[in-house]
């Protein structure tokens, strides 16, 4: 059993992928070009947004979005204490200060109730992460942002086609960042990313900034962050499969929920009312987490911890001076969370095997 099975995905699509890559080689369309243009149009259409600006990876997408919003030295940006470090390190890269907020007890996303306590006269905006594929509490976050004159960036790296009250994530805030790292719900065969927005000003800035500030006119200094043609062609093949793959993830999650219902030690992931959770990761909470992880590894069941600490508790953020007891929700989750195998080629048999092993560990099997 694999934690993420990319081989199975690529075997299914082998012919189309090979044809797509051959076309890129035939056209020598390696950087920018028609395959990249097609992917930007396809992904914008899939989300129903005006603009998709591709770039080299999801981390750059966040950085470019922040720069497009004018974030820089002296500014503060509020984000969640529980995410991959790309969410917060890009804030620091702009010269701004990252301000962490604790998470919700049930949904692992930024706690909308306490965000307001973090706002100062230097606060410019909020980066909300749809963690594990679950939409953040966008209703209250957007309401607060409107009331206090802040912008909202959505970090959608784990939430391709997730939705809240029927609206796709990535279309709710000012701008959203997506990653197509190979293991994401939509993955390339290397690094890839994009940002999406309905705001013409942000899309225009991003397209220039990501490409040295314009090809021959250099209206500003930018960076070099481009999606390459091979990755775009691969993503064009995979994009039509995304909705179906997400459905399988949801079906496997429902089966995990049912199979684990008999094990009282296990807290299965709760789904926010109105949300379509796309289960980039299926994350349970358990006592004796490290022992369980070792037990499962001995049975050949791979698991992961996403992530071992709350972001403010890593050495990278020691300068912020947060003690180990700060961020009690995110900090507590870091000790209890365990990500079970989850990918669109997982079988019902795999899920039953994993759940039975967990039940056995807790003496319920």
Ligand X SMILES: *Cc1c(COP(=O)(O)O)cnc(C)c1O
Q: In the complex, which residues of this chain contact ligand X (CB under 6 A)? A: 57-59, 83-84, 86-87, 129, 155, 157-158, 179, 181, 191, 193
Q: Using an 8 Å Cβ cutoff, are 263 and 362 in contact?
A: yes
For the chain, the 3-state helix, strand and coil shares in percent, each to the nearest 5, are: 45, 15, 40
Shortest reach from residue 129's CB to ligand X, in Å: 5
Q: Which is nearer to ligand X, 58 or 170 (CB)?
A: 58
Q: Using an 8 Å Cβ cutoff, are 292 and 361 in contact?
A: yes
Shortest reach from residue 61's CB to ligand X, in Å: 7
Q: Which is nearer to ligand X, 89 or 265 (CB)?
A: 89
Q: Which is nearer to ligand X, 154 or 350 (CB)?
A: 154
> Distance between CA atoms of 82 and 247, rounded to whole angstroms?
26
Q: Which helix (H) or strand (E) holds 248?
A: helix 242-260
CA of 365: how far to CAs of 186, 263, 289, 361, in Å? 36, 9, 17, 8
Residue number of the CB atom closest to ligand X: 58
| 114 exposure class (CB count in 10 Å sphere: 0-12, 13-18, 19+) | middle
Shortest reach from residue 65's CB to ligand X, in Å: 11
Q: Which is nearer to ligand X, 29 or 176 (CB)?
A: 176
Shortest reach from residue 119's CB to ligand X, in Å: 23
Shortest reach from residue 179's CB to ligand X, in Å: 3
Q: Which is nearer to ligand X, 157 or 286 (CB)?
A: 157
- Contacts with 124 (C-beta within 8 Å, 6 or more apart), sequence order: 69, 70, 71, 75, 76, 77, 96, 150, 151
């Amino acid at each position: 059993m694999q934690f993420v099975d990319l081989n199975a995905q690529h075997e299914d699509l082998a012919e189309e992928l090979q044809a797509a890559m051959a076309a890129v080689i035939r056209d020598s369309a390696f950087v920018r070009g028609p395959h990249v243009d097609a992917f930007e149009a396809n992904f914008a259409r899939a989300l129903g947004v005006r603009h998709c600006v591709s770039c080299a990876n999801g981390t750059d997408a966040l950085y470019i979005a922040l720069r497009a919003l004018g974030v820089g030295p002296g500014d503060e940006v509020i984000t969640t204490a529980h995410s991959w470090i790309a969410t917060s390190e890009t804030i620091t890269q702009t010269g701004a200060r990252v301000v962490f907020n604790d998470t919700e007890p049930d949904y692992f996303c930024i706690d909308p109730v306490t965000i307001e306590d973090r706002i100062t006269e230097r606060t410019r905006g909020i980066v909300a992460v749809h963690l594990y594929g679950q939409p953040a509490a966008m209703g209250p976050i957007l309401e607060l942002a409107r009331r206090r004159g802040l912008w909202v960036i959505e970090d959608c790296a784990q939430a391709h086609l997730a939705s809240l009250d029927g609206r796709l994530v990535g279309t709710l805030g000012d701008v959203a960042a997506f990653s197509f790292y190979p293991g994401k719900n939509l993955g390339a065969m290397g690094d890839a990313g994009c940002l999406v927005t309905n705001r013409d000003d942000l899309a225009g800035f991003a397209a220039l900034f990501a490409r040295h500030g314009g090809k021959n006119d250099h209206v500003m200094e930018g960076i070099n962050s481009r999606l390459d043609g091979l990755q775009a062609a691969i993503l064009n093949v995979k994009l039509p499969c995304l909705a179906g793959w997400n459905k399988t993830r949801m079906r496997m999650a429902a089966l995990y929920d049912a199979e684990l219902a008999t094990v009282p030690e296990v807290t299965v992931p709760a789904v926010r009312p109105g949300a379509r959770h796309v289960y980039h990761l299926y994350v349970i909470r358990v006592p004796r987490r490290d022992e369980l992880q070792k037990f499962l590894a001995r049975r050949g069941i791979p698991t992961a911890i996403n992530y071992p600490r709350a972001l403010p508790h890593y050495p990278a953020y020691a300068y912020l001076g947060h003690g180990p007891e700060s961020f009690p929700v995110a900090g507590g989750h870091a000790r209890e969370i365990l990500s079970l195998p989850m990918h669109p080629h997982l079988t019902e048999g795999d899920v039953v095997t994993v759940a039975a092993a967990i039940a056995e560990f807790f003496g319920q099997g």
